[in-house]
Amino acid sequence: MSYIIRTNLFRKTACIFALVTSVVVTAGCAMEAGASFPGVAVESYPPDGYVATTEPVYYEGRATYWYGGNWYYRDGNRWSHYDREPPALQQRRVQAAPVRRSYGPAATRRPMANAAGRPQERARRER
């Protein structure tokens, strides 16, 4: 195969690759930016102590908890989170930090940061 033919073949392949990449990425982007903001099943989720002491925000018919940089919700027997933050929940988060309840004896209660912590990495649990 001559040098010219090889070069032309390479250019055509590069062109097709760039076009296909562009189409796939753009299409994927359009799907992701849809209204549904799909959730993903996760291996990490808010600990029991957090769920028991924190007010959820109700969104799309379920209780969601802002924790460790994600909004988590129960999906049947497991936890899921929105892989992209829905605007309504983002607005809620910006407006106010999650309300938490402290149960220690009054004398031992200290002012609490409302910032939510990191999710714990744990095996997915079935209930």
Is 76 exposed, middle or buried (CB count within 10 Å of its CB: 0-12, 13-18, 19+)? exposed
Cβ distance to another protein smaller for residue 1 or 103: 103
**Cα–Cα distance measured from residue 124 to residue 127, given in angstroms and rounded to the nearest whole number:** 10
Cβ distance to another protein smaller for residue 1 or 9: 9
Cβ distance to another protein smaller for residue 41 or 112: 112
**Cα–Cα distance measured from residue 66 to residue 77, given in angstroms and rounded to the nearest whole number:** 19
**Cα–Cα distance measured from residue 25 to residue 122, given in angstroms and rounded to the nearest whole number:** 32
Q: Three-state SS for 52?
A: helix
What's the min distance (Å) between Cβ of 97 and another protein? Answer: 9
Q: Which stretches of the chain bind another protein, using CB under 8 A?
A: 8, 11, 14-15, 18-19, 21-23, 25-26, 28-29, 32-33, 46-58, 61-63, 68-71, 74, 84-87, 90, 99-120, 127
What's the min distance (Å) between Cβ of 43 and another protein? Answer: 14
**Cα–Cα distance measured from residue 101 to residue 92, given in angstroms and rounded to the nearest whole number:** 19
What's the min distance (Å) between Cβ of 6 and another protein? Answer: 14
What's the min distance (Å) between Cβ of 58 and another protein? Answer: 5
